[in-house]
Structure 1
Amino acid sequence: MFLFWAVAGVLAAAAAGLILMRAARAVASTGGPGIDGASTGHDTASILYRRQLAEIDELAERGLIGEGERKGAHAEAARRLLAAADAPAEVWEAKDHRLGVLVGVVAAPALALGLYLALGAPGMADQPYAARLKAWRDGDLMRLTPPEAAAVLRQVTGERPDDAEGFRLLGMVEGAAQNPLAAVRALRRAAELAPRRPEIWQMLGEAEIVAAGGKVDANAEASFRRLLALEPGSPGARFFLAQAAAEAGRPDEAVAALRALLADMAGDDPRRGAVEESIARIRGEGGTQGSARDPEEMSMIRGMVDGLAARLKSDPDDPEGWVRLVRAYAVLGETANRDQAYAAARARYAGRADIVSQLDQAARAEPMR
C-alpha cells in the first residue's frame, strides 16, 4: 500500500512539474511583462512580417513571381505590419496566470485523491483470478452467477475430460451466461461422450438454434434427427424438425408434421397451444406474418446475439463467432447489423478464403418467417 501511494505521489509531482515548466516557457516566449506591463507582441509581429518580405524578395529573385506581384505582396505585408503596430497591446500578467496554474496543479491530484477515497477501496487486498476461482469452487455452487459457475465447470471438465455429465452442465450454464457458442461446444463434447443420452441431443439442438440466431439450421436439424432416432416420438424433435421444414420453404410438409404431432398429444398437454399457434402462423391464419417464435423466446435469442456481439468486440479473434453473428443478424432480418458485422469480419479475415466463403454464405441466410 505504501508503494502505491509513493508511486502516485511521484507521478502527481512529475505532472505538476511539467505543467509549471510549460507555463514558465510560455512566459519566456512572450518576453514576460514589459516596462509598462505590456507584452512584446509587437516585436514578434514585426519579425514575422519582415520575414515575409524577405521571402517575397527571394521568390522574385528566383523568377517565381513577377515584379508587379512582388510589389503587391510587399504592399499587403506592409499594410498588415502597420495594422499590427497600431493594434492595442495585450497585457499579460504572468503572476495571475501562474496562480491559476498552481491552483490547477494542486486541485487535480487533491480531487483525484478525494474521489478515490470516497469511491475506491484502498484497503482491499488483491483478488487474483486463481484465488477467486478457488473460492467459487469451494463455496456453494448454487449461489454463483452463471459466468462464475461456467468458470468452475470449465476447470472441472478440464480435469475430467471424459465426464459427459460435466460437459452437459457446462453447456447449460454457458447458455445461461449468454455464451451460446461455448454452450454448443460443451454439449457437442457431451454428445460425443454419451451419444445414447437423448436429453443431451435435445439440449444441443436447442443451443444450436440460439447460436444460429433462432434458425433451425443444418446442425440443429441433425441433432434433432439423432434425438428422434433415440426417441421416435419425441415431441421436441418433431416440433423443431417441422419448423426446419417451414423455414426451408416446405410449409405443407411442416403443417402435416405438426398436425400429426398434435394428434399424438394428450388433450390436456400444455404444449398443444404452441403447436396450434405454429400451424396457424405457417398457414397464415394467425394474423400478422411475424416470427414463429414467441416474444419471450425472441427476447432470449436477441440477448444471446447481443452477448455474442459484445464478446467479439472484446475478443475479435474468433472466425466461427463472426460467421455465426453474421448469420444471426441475417436470420433476424437486421440488415444494417449484418452488413456491419460482415464488413468487419471480411476485412479481418481477407487472407483466409475458407472463412470469407463461410461469411458470404452466412450473409445470404434467409430471414425467419
Structure 2
Amino acid sequence: MTLFWILTGALTLALGLLFTLAMLRGRTDAAPAESFDLKVYRDQLAEVDRDVARGVISEGDAERVRVEVSRRILAADAKAAQAAKGGSQPRRVTLAMAAILTLALLGGGAALYWQLGAPGYGDLALKDRIAMAKQARDTRPSQADAEAQTPAFTATDVSPEYQQLVERLRGAIKDRPEDLQGQQLLARSEAALGNYKAAYQAHQRIVAIKGDAASAEDYADLAGTMVLAAGGYVSPEAQVALEAALTRDRDNGAARYYGGLMMAQTGRPDIAFRMWRELLSDSTPDDPWTMPIRAQIEELAFRAGVNNFTLPPLDTPALPGPSQEDMANAAEMSEGDRASMIQGMVERLSDRLATEGGTPDEWARLINALGVLGDADRARAIYLESQTVFAGNAAALAALAAAAQNAGVAE
C-alpha cells in the first residue's frame, strides 16, 4: 500500500512539473503578428526596385513609396519589439499558479480516492475475487450450522385451540409418515406457526413421497422454508433444492429469487443482479418476490458496479380504496363520521379477503389499517391467518411480517 501512495504522489508531481514547464514557456515559440507584416513590407520594397528597373514607375514615385513602406517597417518593428518584451507573464505568478494546480491535483485525487476507493485494501484482480467468491460459496456454513445460530422456535400469539390441532396433526403424521396430504397440511401448519424447521422437514417428506413426480414448486417450497429456518441464509442444502426446482422449471420465480439471494450472499452481486433484474422484468406486481427485489436491487446494482440502473416504475393497479367522491365527503364529515367511514372500508376489505382471498399486499394493507385503528387484537389475528394462507411463500411472509411490525403486532 505504501508503494501505491509513493507512485501516486510521484505521478502527480511529475504531472505538476509538466504543467509548470508549459506555463513558464508560455507562447515564446510563436512568432508575433508584426513579424509577418515586416516580411510583407520588405517584399514590397524589393518589388518597387523591380518596377523602376522595368520602367513601370518613375524614380520620384518609387522614392515616395519607399518612404511610406519604410515608415510602416519602423512602426511594425517597434510593435514586434514591444510584444517580445511584454509577452510573458511574471515568473513568480506562473510558479504560484503551478504550485496551486499541483496541490489541487494531490488533494483532490486523495479526497476522491478516500471517498470512492478502499484505503488499506490490497490489490485484488477480478479473477481472484471470483475465485474467492467460489471458495466462500463452497465452504459456507451448512443448514445445521446456520440453524444453530438462529433463535429457537417458540410459539407465541397462538390460540390454544390451534396449537392443540397442530399437536394432534403431528401425532397423526408420526403414525402415518407416508400420508402425502397429511404432510402437506403439516408443512403449511408449521410454517404458519413460524416453526420453519418442522415445516421444511415436512416438505422433505413430501418430496420423498412423490419421488420423481415431485414438482418444481415442491422443491422451491422446500428451499424457501429452509431459508426461513436459517434466518434468511441460503445454505448448501437449500441450494440443492433450488437447483432441483430450476431443473424442472427454469422459470420458477421463487427458485430464481432465492438463487439470486444466494449469489448476493456469497460474493457474486453481479450474477445476483442479473438474475433479479431478469426475474423482475418477468414478474407481476402481485408476485411475492417483486417487492423484496425492488427493496434490494438498487443497492445490489451498486455492488455489482452497474451505475446506470434505474428501478422501473411499479405498474400496479391501485388497491381498492376511497374514491374521489369518498375523499370529498370525508373532508366535510365530523371526526366520528370519518372514523366510521374508514372502519367501513376496512370491513369491506376484510370481508373480501375472507371470501375471495387476495394478494399479500392486500393482506398487509389490512394489517396496517387495523394497526392504525388501534385494533391490535384483530390485526394480530389477521396476521396469523395470513401466515396460514401464505405458508411456504417466504417472500409473502416477509412482506406480511413487515406490515405486522408496523402495526405493532409482530411476534
- Per the normalisation by structure 2, the TM-score is 0.33
Q: Which has the higher contact order (CA 8 A, sep 6+)?
A: 2
